Amino acid sequence: DIQMTQSPASLSASLGETVTIECRASEDIYNGLAWYQQKPGKSPQLLIYNANSLHTGVPSRFSGSGSGTQYSLKINSLQSEDVASYFCQQYYDYPYTFGAGTKLELK
Amino acid sequence: EVQLVESGGGLVQPGRSLKLSCAASGFTFSNYYMAWVRQAPTKGLEWVASITNSGGSTYYRDSVKGRFTISRDNAKSTLYLQMDSLRSEDTATYYCTRDMGARGVMDAWGQGASVTVSS
């Protein structure tokens, strides 16, 4: 199975700040990488797919980048509604696997 | 509006069975691969199983292979997950998801069905 190592596990940032979350795959996943946002008590929502494609309706302050085994999610100008947990997922191969998540809080 | 509504969750004893259903609306169900993803309490996300749009092929994670069966009824726009020989480690919220582009990207999620396996 492809292991997804996500960091940091938790993050505290101020409104307006830029934050970056990293995800490392145990092997090359050829940009088969998605990012999801899960707000407290809610279902996950797709943010990014193909490593850098913004899903319909997602604010442009979210962006994804990376290749090979290293990927990142960047949130520019942090808003209060961005408080959530974020998960990366590889879909290059079965079984699909997720990172352990990053819990983002406001400072 | 795309909607996925799960039902059938509950408390069940180890070794018993449970069947989850997911009613889909707002899109042409028969055009999409579908999947179940679960999340244990205060834990991360774990892919469970996927099914092709026709239902002709299915895929499972190793820990549920032989115990869980994913299926669909395209005439009823409904996805199912039959869970047999349940274990305590299957305790989780189970999400029905739509697979965008038949490649593992989950672009729509249900509200989740809670399954607790305990004696």
Q: Cβ contacts (< 8 Å) between A36 and chain B: which residues?
A: 45, 106
Pairwise CA distance, residues A97 & A102, whole Å: 15
pLDDT tens digits along B73-117: 999 999 999 999 999 999 999 999 999 987 899 999 999 999 999
Chain A residues near residue B100 by CB distance under 8 angstroms: 46, 49
**What is the Cα B109 distance to its own chain's centre?**
10
In whole angstroms, give the CA distance from residue B60 to residue A92.
15
Token couple for B39: 């999340």
At A39-79, the pLDDT tens digits run 999 999 999 999 999 999 999 999 999 999 999 999 999 99
